[in-house]
Amino acid sequence: MKQFNVPITYRSHLISAIKNKRRTQDKLKKDFTPTFLDFGSLHIYLARHFGFCYGVENAIEISFRTVEENPGRRIFLLSEMIHNPLVNDDLKKRGVQFLMDTHGNLLIDFDTLTSDDIVIIPAFGTTLDIGNKLKSIGIKIEKYNTTCPFVEKVWNRAEAIAAKNYTIIIHGKPKHEETRATFSHSASNAPTVIVNDMNETIELAKYITREKPLNLFYEEFKGKYSEGFNVEKDLQRIGVVNQTTMLASDTQAIADYLRQTIITKYHLTEENIEERFADTRDTLCYATYENQSAVYGLLKTDADLAIVVGGYNSSNTSHLVELCKEKLPTYFIDSAERILSQDKILHYDFHNKTEKETDNFLPPKNPVKILITSGASCPDALVEDVINKLLSYFPVNKTAEETIAKFA
């Protein structure tokens, strides 16, 4: 895989050594068992896959190179490049300004932009309307476009099934930048509707089966369907794509549910299902799949707690937290600074979107066993910081640096 030039401060000697060793031992990426770090009184189990993905490293490289190559020019990011506060703050310190917040609210009026300005499109992509607006100003967005190729793959998949007259069902978070972009591209080619989860999918299916009055659709799915959507005819042939960072199991369950609904409604068989339901393969990106699979492998380990590191508004990270929370106490933090002491941790509750403090999060036992992973937009350096912070609370038999020798 291509090697990207990202700031050295985002790298970790420890994590790089571990990842390189595991990569050499498991070239086909079929081993999802965690990496065991034995520090004596502290046992740490690192997920097989975690941290920066292809799309994130590509976006970071383009963004920092753009700053270096264009001294004196105004440089803007359309919105957060990735969902990690450290990376976004680093870009701000280098003079990059943000045009919108993560929800799409304007921070700087587009009317103040000129054709000499640079606007970097984030890894999530952007809507056709925003892209056209920037082009009309004379801004060359293609040159500074960091849209993840796996997001573009979803757009291409949606376009392909739209060409066969299927309506597009997007499994995604309606307010997320990527889903807004995917919706825009999909809606330009076909009727499109977004479902956030299985509950919404079940309700959508009731309009396919006519269990619910069709006129209720427009209120129930307000803001989630494309202009001119005709609920009576546009749910007769459908295909499912997704926001690339959703839980793979959720997307599969949603596709299976809608598929069975169509089979039942139209009395179809496996042989003729494509008359009404598009054969779309999974559109999760490789990193999302690998990171989630690695967490399933991680959770087979007997442990006391899990720590997940990443930006609080990171969708893929929140899903890793979800998986861990099903089995054991899990703490979602964005940096080692959230570990306040051996007795206290400040962590994020993404359901309520609030931080909360938990006492005595480290159990009084020997050894303490901790599972650790991170999201696709989290620098490895932050994970090493967390490991070092935890080590400072235990009488350990070796340092993180000494552990590197094991993986040399």
Structure tokens given for 73? 């020019």
Tell me, yes or no, whether 290 lies in a domain: yes
pLDDT one-digit tens code per residue, 164-206: 999 999 999 999 999 999 999 999 999 999 999 999 999 999 9
Which amino acid is present at 5?
N
Q: CA-CA distance, 220 to 204, in Å (whole number)?
A: 9
pLDDT reading at 3 higher than 80 = no
Residue scoring higher pLDDT (279 or 22):
22
Domain boundary among 144, 173, 190: 144
Domain of 156: which CATH number?
3.40.1010.20
Torsion of CA 184, 189, 191, 192, to 10 degrees: -40
Task: Report the amino acid identity of residue 170.
Answer: I
Give the C-alpha separation, 209 to 212, whole Å: 8
pLDDT of 259 strictly over 80: yes
Among the candidates 144, 169, 203, a domain finishes at 144
Q: Please tell me whether residues 154 and 170 are part of one structural domain.
A: yes
pLDDT of 405 over the 80 cut? no
Residue-wise pLDDT for 115-127, tens only, equals 999 999 999 999 9
23 occurs within a structural domain: yes
CATH of the domain at 110: 3.40.50.11270
Per-residue pLDDT at 359 exceeds 90 = yes
Q: For residue 365, is pLDDT > 90?
A: yes
| 32-51: pLDDT as tens digits | 999 999 999 999 999 999 99
Q: Are residues 49 and 81 both part of a single domain?
A: no
State which residues form the domain around 124: 54-144
Whole-angstrom distance, CA of residue 408 vs CA of residue 236? 57
Distance CA 69, CA 79 (A): 21
Show contacts of 70-73: CB within 8 Å, 24+ apart.
Answer: 70/118, 73/116, 73/117, 73/118
Are 44 and 66 in the same domain?
A: no
Tell me how far apart the alpha carbons of residues 214 and 204 are, in angstroms, rounded to a whole number: 10
Asked, for residue 1, whether it belongs to a domain, the answer is no
- Contact call for residues 381 and 9 (beta carbons, < 8 A): yes
Q: Is residue 354 part of a domain?
A: yes
Report which of 64, 280, 51 is spatially closest to residue 171, judged by C-alpha positions: 280
Contacts of 28 (CB under 8 A, 6+ apart): none
Percent of the chain clearing pLDDT 70 (strictly above): 99
Confirm whether 305 is domain-assigned: yes
Q: Are residues 177 and 102 part of one domain? A: no
**Has residue 408 got a pLDDT over 90?**
no
Can you tell me the distance from the alpha carbon of 335 to that of 348, in angstroms, rounded to the nearest whole number?
A: 11
Widest CA span in the chain: 68
Q: pLDDT by residue (tens digit) across 384-397?
A: 999 999 999 999 87
Catalytic residue numbers?
Answer: 178
Using pLDDT thresholds of 50, 70 and 90, give the confidence band for residue 103: confident
Over the chain, what is the mean pLDDT?
94
Average pLDDT over residues 10-26: 93
244, 233: one domain: yes
**What are the tens digits of pLDDT across the range 290-324?**
999 999 999 999 999 999 999 999 999 999 999 99
More confident residue, 403 or 62: 62
Residue 45 sits in the same domain as residue 100:
no
Q: Are residues 271 and 342 in the same domain?
A: no
Which of 88, 119, 144 represents a domain boundary (last residue)?
A: 144
Structural domains in the chain (count)? 3
242 and 352 fall within a common domain: no
Q: Over the stretch 215-254, which tens digit does the pLDDT of each residue have?
A: 999 999 999 999 999 999 999 999 999 999 898 889 999 9
Q: How far apart (Å, rounded) are the C-alpha atoms in residues 395 and 249? A: 40
Q: Which residues contact 121 (CB under 8 A, 6 or more apart)?
A: 78, 131, 141, 144, 145, 146, 147
pLDDT, residue 1, reads 58
Residues 355 and 402 in one domain: yes
How do beta strands 97-98 and 118-120 pair?
unpaired
In this structure, the answer to whether residues 297 and 371 fall within a common structural domain is: yes
Looking at the fold, whether 317 and 347 belong to one and the same domain comes out as yes
> Which among 185, 60, 188 has a CA at the least distance from the CA of 122?
60
Examine the domain organization and report whether 195 and 259 are in the same domain.
Answer: yes
